[in-house]
Chain A
Amino acid sequence: MAAIDAPYPGSAAAAAIFRTCRFTGLKVDIAAQRLIMANAVAAVVFLAVGGVMGLLVALTRWPAVHLLPSEWFYLVLTGHGANVLLFWIIFFEIAILYFASAVLLGSRIATPKIAWAAFVLMLVGAVMTNVAVFQGDSSVMFTSYPPMQASPHFYLGLIIFAVGALIGVGIFFGTLVIAHGEHTYEGSIPLVTFGALTAAIIAVFTLASGAIILIPTYLWSLGLITEIDPLMYKVVWWGMGHSSQQINVAAHVSVWYAIGALTIGAKPLSEKVSRSAFLLYILFLQLASAHHLLADPGMSATWKIVNTSYLMYLAVLGSLIHGLTVPGALEAAQRRNGYTKGAFEWLRKAPWGNPAFAGMFLSLVMFGFIGGISGVVLGTEQLNLLMHNTIYVPGHFHGTVVAGTTLAFMAMTYYVLPLIFQRDVIWPKLARWQPYLFGIGAAGISLFMMGAGTLGIPRRHWDITLTDAMHPFDLPSGGFLMMGLNGLSAVIAAAGGILYIVITVGTVLWGKRLDKGDAPLNFPLHKQAATVAEYGSHTTVKLPGTIILVSIFFLSFVLYYFVNWKYLSEIWLLR
């Protein structure tokens, strides 16, 4: 007898084929699995291309090495920004969206054919923009501020890529609707899916801003529009450029929670707080483009203050909350796992040999301490004068998007490989070191670029000796030293990056197959949380370790904030 709610034969629901994951018990739609694989592979390819470019850029900015000639430097820097910030990150995010919807909810993915079309669009767009960059007349940086102009297909590629990504986001929403309609899960969606949902909502706003500004810019590059106002462009462009960073944050915070659950059985301290923190991202980021215009003419101080802080600090509040709830969830889980001695046994005995856990924890710490604190300081109306457009800025965002997002995504890969590709991670000994290598390198490039920027070294600059300049002068020698240390750190980061690529590609091609037999994982999952206690005050654990960590963080934040005000108060008077 057929169940009443069995799908009609021939319907999309009936056509979907599932397998059951023998590690997690999750029902995995094969169509979704293939799409996740395709998007993840594309992401890794663009990371490889963009990462090599990053190394070349850093080696050129290392004064003693000064690798590339100037034309190549600016070309490669444009390619670096586009390939890593846009293509690597967004392809991987699409994979995460499909994973967080179809896989975590045990649902079929909505319209897989259209999802493939979205993938092809993104690929075509990304390749087109790369072609434009390598042809040499589009070295405009990925921000492409007018009146500087790139070839039309530079913009067209970005537009096509954005449209593809937007469709991918639509597939995510569609899948949520299907999962809800077909009752594939009970109650509310999981926290990780909720985080992905906030990322997706922000993505719609972001990609729309991108289209609003890039389409006229494309027409302008074709000669159909005579002028693009540079200030207006900057405001709208950063509506995309900044908000898309909030997508990254929402995505990598989701990844933190996911890895915490997979590796040590962590669950949120309270669903309500963690979810509200995600909501803050959606509600309070829309005008965050303001803090990219703090040193620009034509905006009132009120506009700058309101839009950077009142609205932005509430988004910052979201991150600050996760900054407590994530380590708190980890500590609580570890204490349940039996590590209850002192304030930090839970941390000492954490699975540091598991690259997913190690990468996640490093990402959490570095995103907070490096990317987060510097971001708020940089986004303070007056303090911005000290570092606007210096290499402090790339220093800050390598703390967010490399040490934070990229490292979190790398960590996640160590579970995407066994659970989705069904291949066990090869060379576990090497894999164990990968997050540390990349993490130390990423911390180094972030901190040394910040240091150099504090000393006034400009960003996107081929020759800080200013030898060929008409009125040469000396930039501080400390800045040169910092740029050298940055180069060294870049080599370490690149080694970690190459290791990641080699392990990932090697695993996909030659990893032990997990779909047959019952071999255990090299990096085992936490025994399912069947024994995890219900939430309730009686099971509430004390979290002394987390409180200490968060206090150290807060003190560093306050100190660094005031150090910069002190520094500001010593420069020339300015009204």
Chain B
Amino acid sequence: MAISPPRNRLWWNEPIERVEIGWIVVAFLWGLFMFFFMIAWHFIGGQNLSTETYRIKPPAYEEKVVAFAEKYQVAEEDGTPVVRPPAGEDVYLLARLWEWWPLLELKKGQSYRIHLSSLDWQHGFSLQPVNINISVHPGYEQIITLTPTQAGEFGIACNEYCGIGHHMMTGRIRVVE
């Protein structure tokens, strides 16, 4: 009984059930497979989160984003600049209470180095309906290389709770052909 001491005092000498051994081997191999598959995806897969990260003070990051927005602004929507950076260019996106700033216009099939950081609290970059989700921290500037493979209007929600305006925090990426 599982609630009383093992009847056989030398229980560690007992043989192991065949089914148990069989399952342990299968489960272990499956674990190994899953482990190696993650490594393999770095070579065969097109979706791996970059780990390029720098420490930065929030005001310094804000300056970079503002300079970037001024340089490539093409329009204004809802009072926020719409920025169209040239393909391959560094793109700066800012998270703050409670918006993703500025709005971006990218070209399908082109790669961009997208910088992400927060000015205040933690936020969650959640690109929809593509469903790419990345945590954004204040004090850390992360750079991911993103290649849109679809054209259209995409929204960015915030999915890290960031206070009372959390559900109002959005941004937009437009992808043109």
Question: Cβ of B121 and Cβ of A300 under 8 Å apart?
Answer: no
Question: Cβ of B133 and Cβ of A382 under 8 Å apart?
Answer: no
Complex-state Cα separation, A540 to B48, whole angstroms: 48
User: Using Cβ atoms and an 8 Å threshold, which residues of chain B touch A390?
Assistant: 126, 131, 133, 159
User: Using Cβ atoms and an 8 Å threshold, which residues of chain A touch B169?
Assistant: 469
Bitwise, A352-396 to B at CB < 8 A (1) or not (0) is 000000000000000000000000100011100111111000000
CB distance from B169 to the nearest CB of A (A): 7
Could you tell me how many residues of chain B have their Cβ less than 8 Å away from some Cβ of chain A? 96
Question: Cβ of B51 and Cβ of A299 under 8 Å apart?
Answer: yes
Contact of B80 among A191, A385, A470 (CB under 8 A): A470
Question: Cβ of A190 and Cβ of B1 under 8 Å apart?
Answer: yes
Interface presence of A224 (CB below 8 A): no
- Give the most central of B32, B51, B133, B155: most A CB within 10 Å: B133
Question: Cβ of B140 and Cβ of A574 under 8 Å apart?
Answer: no
User: Using Cβ atoms and an 8 Å threshold, which residues of chain B touch A10?
Assistant: none
**Total contacts A-B at CB 8 Å:** 318
User: Using Cβ atoms and an 8 Å threshold, which residues of chain B touch A74?
Assistant: 161, 164, 166
- Taking CB atoms and an 8 Å cut-off, the chain A residues in 319-377 that contact chain B are 320-321, 324-325, 328-329, 376
Interface presence of B86 (CB below 8 A): no
User: Using Cβ atoms and an 8 Å threshold, which residues of chain A touch B139?
Assistant: 229-231
Bitwise, B118-162 to A at CB < 8 A (1) or not (0) is 001110101111111111111111101111111001110111111
User: Using Cβ atoms and an 8 Å threshold, which residues of chain A touch B16?
Assistant: 270, 272-273
Minimal Cβ-Cβ distance residue in A for B154: A473
Complex-state Cα separation, A56 to B6, whole angstroms: 47
Interface presence of A5 (CB below 8 A): no
Given contacts A297-B140, A382-B48, contact A268 B120 (CB under 8 A): no
Bitwise, B93-129 to A at CB < 8 A (1) or not (0) is 0000011100100000001000010001110101111
Complex-state Cα separation, A463 to B111, whole angstroms: 33
Interface presence of A316 (CB below 8 A): yes
Question: Cβ of A317 and Cβ of B28 under 8 Å apart?
Answer: yes
Question: Cβ of B135 and Cβ of A313 under 8 Å apart?
Answer: no
Contact of B6 among A104, A271, A380, A456 (CB under 8 A): A271
Question: Cβ of A188 and Cβ of B9 under 8 Å apart?
Answer: yes
User: Using Cβ atoms and an 8 Å threshold, which residues of chain B touch A317?
Assistant: 24, 27-28, 31
Bitwise, B34-74 to A at CB < 8 A (1) or not (0) is 11011101100111111101000000000000000000000
Minimal Cβ-Cβ distance residue in B for A546: B19
Instruction: Give the secondary structure class of B's interface.
Output: mixed
Question: Cβ of B134 and Cβ of A295 under 8 Å apart?
Answer: yes
Complex-state Cα separation, A226 to B42, whole angstroms: 39
Interface presence of A30 (CB below 8 A): no
Question: Cβ of A460 and Cβ of B142 under 8 Å apart?
Answer: no
Complex-state Cα separation, A468 to B99, whole angstroms: 12
Contact of B2 among A148, A191, A474 (CB under 8 A): A191
Minimal Cβ-Cβ distance residue in A for B153: A473
Question: Cβ of B137 and Cβ of A294 under 8 Å apart?
Answer: no
CB distance from A276 to the nearest CB of B (A): 9
Question: Cβ of B20 and Cβ of A328 under 8 Å apart?
Answer: yes
Given contacts A328-B17, A470-B99, contact A568 B45 (CB under 8 A): yes
Could you tell me how many residues of chain A have their Cβ less than 8 Å away from some Cβ of chain B? 110
Contact of A572 among B2, B11, B50, B132 (CB under 8 A): B132
Complex-state Cα separation, A301 to B77, whole angstroms: 38
Question: Cβ of B3 and Cβ of A262 under 8 Å apart?
Answer: yes
Minimal Cβ-Cβ distance residue in A for B161: A460
Interface presence of B78 (CB below 8 A): yes
User: Using Cβ atoms and an 8 Å threshold, which residues of chain A touch B135?
Assistant: 293, 295-297, 388-389
Complex-state Cα separation, A267 to B154, whole angstroms: 56
Question: Cβ of B128 and Cβ of A456 under 8 Å apart?
Answer: yes
Interface presence of A429 (CB below 8 A): no
Give the top 10 A-B pairs by smallest Cβ distance, nearest first: A473-B155, A458-B159, A297-B142, A313-B31, A257-B2, A573-B147, A271-B11, A389-B159, A320-B27, A297-B53
Can you show 27 pairs from A to B with CB atoms below 8 A apart? A148-B122, A188-B5, A190-B2, A190-B3, A260-B2, A267-B2, A270-B15, A293-B135, A295-B134, A313-B32, A317-B24, A380-B38, A387-B133, A388-B134, A456-B131, A469-B168, A471-B100, A473-B153, A476-B128, A534-B8, A540-B17, A550-B23, A565-B37, A572-B130, A573-B146, A574-B47, A574-B50
Please name 7 further chain A to chain B contacts, defined as beta carbons within 8 Å, in addition to the given A321-B20, A389-B135, A473-B155, sorted by A numbering: A74-B161, A297-B53, A298-B137, A461-B166, A471-B171, A561-B34, A574-B48
